[in-house]
């Protein structure tokens, strides 16, 4: 008996590689989280965008609350089972009218996970309709396995390593994943997806939370950390992550810096190993 998703949604994930939308949080709760994020940005004088958007679940108790919420974890458990680690989290902000976009890619490209079974829950802190540049996917592409990617250096691309699918995508075969504030979508690590610039009047912000079963292993030489968020871990493939006690306190910042450094080092190892660097 599934905990949250319907049998149709579970079948849709198996056949198309995604589920969208899933209802989760009230508008008030979501608005309060957005306010927390934006007041931190104002205090820092720095937006949580490319270069500053990794692993905020190690800094903020309010993000810790989202990543442990039954609203999200019950759906994730329906797809990957009851023993779950949070492998990575990225904040995806796009200012209204900015050129920020995300190139076509598969999440698995720099994750080195065996098996490649991770699922990303994209939790909307604002509305993300088509005109705001919600995600666009190629249904069924998760069945193609790992496809070749290239590196594309473009400051408007929100992907930290600028990875882009080497082949062109047929846009007549894509589908959009619009979500409202408080909803989320789920997508498979091999699903080909991108997102276009935000042409709406409001900022678009989502948290991309990557969950894996504890049985998965990261094959890169650098040992990375991942947070056990549900069930038990009988494998020990990851170092544990510390849950934040206070908002971006000194211990939270020190732990976050080290975890992000290790994660980036692992990403670089994967770039060196797997991605053909071509000029585009």
Ligand X SMILES: O=C(O)CCC(=O)C(=O)O
Binding site for ligand X (CB under 6 A): 92, 102, 107, 120, 122, 135, 193, 195, 206, 208
Q: Which helix (H) or strand (E) holds 270?
A: helix 250-274
- Cα 271 to chain center, whole Å? 19
Q: Which helix (H) or strand (E) holds 211?
A: strand 204-213
In the complex, minimum distance from the CB of residue 40 to ligand X, in angstroms, rounded to a whole number: 19
Nearer to ligand X, 226 or 255 (CB): 226
In the complex, minimum distance from the CB of residue 101 to ligand X, in angstroms, rounded to a whole number: 8
Nearer to ligand X, 195 or 270 (CB): 195
Nearer to ligand X, 142 or 193 (CB): 193
Rg (CA), the chain: 17
DSSP states of 31-54? HHHHHHHHHHHHHHT--S-TTS-B
Nearer to ligand X, 206 or 244 (CB): 206
In the complex, minimum distance from the CB of residue 122 to ligand X, in angstroms, rounded to a whole number: 5
Nearer to ligand X, 201 or 232 (CB): 201
In the complex, minimum distance from the CB of residue 73 to ligand X, in angstroms, rounded to a whole number: 17
Quote the CA–CA distance of 207 and 210 in Å, as a whole number: 10
Nearer to ligand X, 199 or 242 (CB): 199
In the complex, minimum distance from the CB of residue 185 to ligand X, in angstroms, rounded to a whole number: 9
SS3 state at 9: helix
In the complex, minimum distance from the CB of residue 218 to ligand X, in angstroms, rounded to a whole number: 17
Give me the residues paired with residue 208 across strands: 90, 122
CA distances from 233 to 68, 77, 124, 146, 217 (A): 16, 14, 29, 27, 12
């Amino acid at each position: 008996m599934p905990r949250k998703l319907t049998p149709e949604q579970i079948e849709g994930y198996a056949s198309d590689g995604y589920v969208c939308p899933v209802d989760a949080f009230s508008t008030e709760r979501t608005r309060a989280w957005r306010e927390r994020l934006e007041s931190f940005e104002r205090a820092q004088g720095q937006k949580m965008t490319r270069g500053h958007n990794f692993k905020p679940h190690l800094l903020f108790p309010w993000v810790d609350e989202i990543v442990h919420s039954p609203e999200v974890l019950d759906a994730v458990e329906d797809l990957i089972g009851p023993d779950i680690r949070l492998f990575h989290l990225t904040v995806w902000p796009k200012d209204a009218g900015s050129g920020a976009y995300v190139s076509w890619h598969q999440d698995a490209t720099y994750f080195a996970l065996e098996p490649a079974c991770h699922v990303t829950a994209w939790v909307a802190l604002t509305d993300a309709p088509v005109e705001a540049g919600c995600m666009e996917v190629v249904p069924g592409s998760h069945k193609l396995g790992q496809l070749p990617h290239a590196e594309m250096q473009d400051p408007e691309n929100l992907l930290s390593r600028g990875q882009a699918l080497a082949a062109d995508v047929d846009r007549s075969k894509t589908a959009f994943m619009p979500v409202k504030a408080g909803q989320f979508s789920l997508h498979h690590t091999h699903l080909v997806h991108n997102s276009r610039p935000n042409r709406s009047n409001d900022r678009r912000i989502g948290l991309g939370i990557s969950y894996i079963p504890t049985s998965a292993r990261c094959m890169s030489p650098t040992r990375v950390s991942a947070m056990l968020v549900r069930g038990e871990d009988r494998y020990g493939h990851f170092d544990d992550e510390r849950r934040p006690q206070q908002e971006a306190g000194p211990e939270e910042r020190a732990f976050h810096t080290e975890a992000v450094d290790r994660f980036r080092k692992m990403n670089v190892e994967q770039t060196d190993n797997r991605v053909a660097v071509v000029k585009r």
